[in-house]
């Protein structure tokens, strides 16, 4: 049986990678794992997961689904930094294509861990 690869570019099958986080059978053990699972959630339009992993202090009321025709092309993690046991940053580039035009989102995201769970706080776009 062919298992689709996870969109987060780990090379693992989706069901053994971000799929476990998306379906609630596991939680992200690191800020990087949460970052990767959030990228996959954007690719798959899993808006409820994105909102549930967004810190309450910065969480928007709602998110818009992907524009029709948007194709996510890949994720590259550039840097990881753990400030302490509850604070981390992940610098990444996410590539996409829409209407024949390529786009790159370069961001350094901030994460916080509360009650054993990592949350996305905000990001600085480069």
Q: For residue range 75-95, what is the model confidence (pLDDT) as tens digits? A: 999 999 999 999 999 999 999
Average pLDDT, the chain: 96
**Can you tell me which residue has the tokens 């590259």?**
76
Question: Model-level pTM greater than 0.75?
Answer: yes
Residue 71 makes CB contacts below 8 A (sequence gap 6+) with 96, 97, 98
Give the domain CATH number at 116.
3.10.450.50
- Domain-located, residue 3: no
- Domain-located, residue 27: yes
The predicted pLDDT at position 3 comes to: 77
- Domain-located, residue 112: yes
Residue 40 makes CB contacts below 8 A (sequence gap 6+) with 6, 7, 8, 14, 17, 18, 22, 46
- Domain-located, residue 9: no
pLDDT at 1 over 80: no
- Domain-located, residue 5: no
Q: Which domain holds residue 22?
A: 14-125
| Total structural domains within the chain | 1
Average pLDDT over residues 49-68: 97
Q: In what order do the strands lie in the sheet with 71-84?
A: 71-84, 87-98, 101-114, 117-125
**Band of pLDDT at residue 106, cut at 50, 70 and 90:** very high
pLDDT at 13 over 70: yes
Average pLDDT over residues 103-107: 97
Percent of the chain with pLDDT over 70: 98
- Domain-located, residue 38: yes
Neighbours of 33 (CB within 10 A): 19
């Amino acid at each position: 049986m062919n298992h689709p690869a996870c969109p987060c570019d780990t090379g693992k099958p989706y069901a053994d990678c971000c799929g476990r986080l998306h379906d609630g059978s596991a939680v992200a053990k690191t800020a990087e794992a949460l970052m990767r699972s959030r990228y996959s959630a954007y690719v798959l339009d899993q808006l409820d997961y994105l909102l549930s992993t967004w810190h309450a202090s910065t969480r928007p009321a709602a998110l818009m689904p992907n524009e029709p025709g948007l194709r996510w092309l890949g994720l590259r993690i550039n840097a990881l930094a753990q400030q302490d046991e509850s604070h981390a940053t992940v610098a990444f580039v996410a590539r996409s294509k829409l209407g024949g035009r390529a786009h790159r989102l370069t961001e350094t995201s901030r994460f916080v861990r509360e009650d054993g769970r990592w949350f996305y706080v905000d990001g600085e776009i480069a």
